[in-house]
Amino acid sequence: MTLWFFAPVAVCEETRSLTVAWWNVENLFDTLDDPDTEDDEFIPQGKRGWTPTKLAVKYLRLSHALKMIAAENRNGRYPDILAFAETENRSVVETLLSFLPGHHYAIVYHNSPDPRGIDLALAYDTLTASHIETRPYSVPLDHRSTRDVVLHALSAGTHRFYLLLNHWPSRSLGRAWSEPRRLEAARTARSVLDSLLQADPRSDIVIAGDFNDEPEDRSISDILGSSFKRTEVRQNCAEKLYNCWNETDAPGSYSYRGTWNRIDQVLVSCGLLDQSGLSLASSPFRCFNPDPMARPGSGTPFPTWKGGSYLGGYSDHFPLVLKLEIH
């Protein structure tokens, strides 16, 4: 696989840091019936009774979380890069961002072949980052399509970097039955990484996603090459990725039947472990889990839905936040 990015690199004002946020926002659907997707449950007449009022609460919850992230930033800014999973279309992302006063985001949206119509979305702050190009890569499966793996080329000032976004097939119908689908998604993502690293082993690459597998699973540890050891990654730039869960003692971003999971992950190439271009900041990674976003008594994510019951929370996933320095 060969990757070509012809667009010129736009230069924007230098910043000292760049913040990337990944978040599976849990079924951010509009209330309209899309005849081309399986979204019937998320309309007012559907089994979830998804009304404009419930959608408005969803926007308020999600925007509140993004405002809390901004409040903890030293400069009070929203994340420079927002990457979302489970958005239905560009319109819902535009509406969500309209709840953030004074933002300077531009949206890059890719419609995936997912049967439910849920996609991966990207928004970037035009004051601190520039978009160069986007390339989607389909995951070859024998039946029922899944989300593409999506590669974004961006720049911060004169420094080019890549963001590889993933939302791999779920564990529905059993983890063992569904694992081959995630292994195929991992091979797709790995092939994209290999092309980038063959061209430049020191490329600055952030790999983020809801992988529906954990760091110890084969798809992550063996195929992607995840490691919790910075030294191991530095010594094998072409093969290994640093898993940022090593930077926190948080138990996970998602809870299933009382067990914490680390299925949301951020990994970085060895180019982000040096001190040139972009690099990991001090205390670079956080699972963002403030009290308002957690269910009282459990500390687990406060979801919009629990099974078929409407709770009106934020999401069943906590966001992950990565901070980079620009040299």
47-61, 63-77, 200-214, 240-254 — which is least confidently predicted?
63-77
Compare 106 and 145 and report the one with higher pLDDT: 106
Indicate the pLDDT class of residue 6, thresholds 50, 70 and 90. very low
The number of folded domains in the chain is 1
What is residue 219's three-state secondary structure? helix
pLDDT of 177 reads 80
pLDDT of 249 reads 96
| Segments forming the whole domain that contains residue 281 | 17-326
Indicate the pLDDT class of residue 13, thresholds 50, 70 and 90. very low
Q: Note whether 166 and 181 are within 8 A (CB).
A: no
Q: Note whether 121 and 62 are within 8 A (CB).
A: no
- 5 is a domain residue: no
Phi, psi (deg, nearest 5) at residue 201:
-60, -15
pLDDT of 3 reads 56
Handedness of CA 286, 288, 291, 296 (dihedral sign): negative
Q: Note whether 241 and 269 are within 8 A (CB).
A: yes
Name the token pair of 227. 């490691």
Question: Is it the case that residue 9 has pLDDT exceeding 70?
Answer: no
- 249 is a domain residue: yes
Helices 90-98 & 52-72, crossing angle to 10 degrees?
Answer: 60
- 47 is a domain residue: yes
- Residue 239's CATH number: 3.60.10.10
Q: Where are the alpha helices (DSSP H) in 200-273?
A: 218, 230-235
CA atoms of 215 and 211, how far apart (whole Å) = 9
Q: Which residues of 16-29 are buried (b: 16+ CB within 10 A; e: fewer)?
A: ebbbbbbbbbbbbb
Identify which of 61, 21, 23 has the alpha carbon closest to the alpha carbon of residue 292.
Answer: 61
Q: What is the pTM of this model?
A: 0.94
- 7 is a domain residue: no
In this predicted model, what pLDDT tens digit does every residue of 192-244 receive, in sequence order? Answer: 999 999 999 999 999 999 999 999 999 999 999 999 999 999 999 999 999 99
**Average pLDDT, rounded, for the chain:** 94
- 104 is a domain residue: yes
In this predicted model, what pLDDT tens digit does every residue of 68-113 receive, in sequence order? Answer: 999 998 788 999 999 999 999 999 999 999 999 999 999 999 999 9
- 1 is a domain residue: no
13-22, 101-110, 121-130, 203-212 — which is least confidently predicted?
13-22
Identify which of 139, 107, 111 has the alpha carbon closest to the alpha carbon of residue 37.
Answer: 111
- 11 is a domain residue: no
Query: Percentage of residues in the chain with pLDDT exceeding 70?
Result: 95
Phi, psi (deg, nearest 5) at residue 74:
-60, -35
Neighbours of 71 (CB within 10 A): 10
- 6 is a domain residue: no
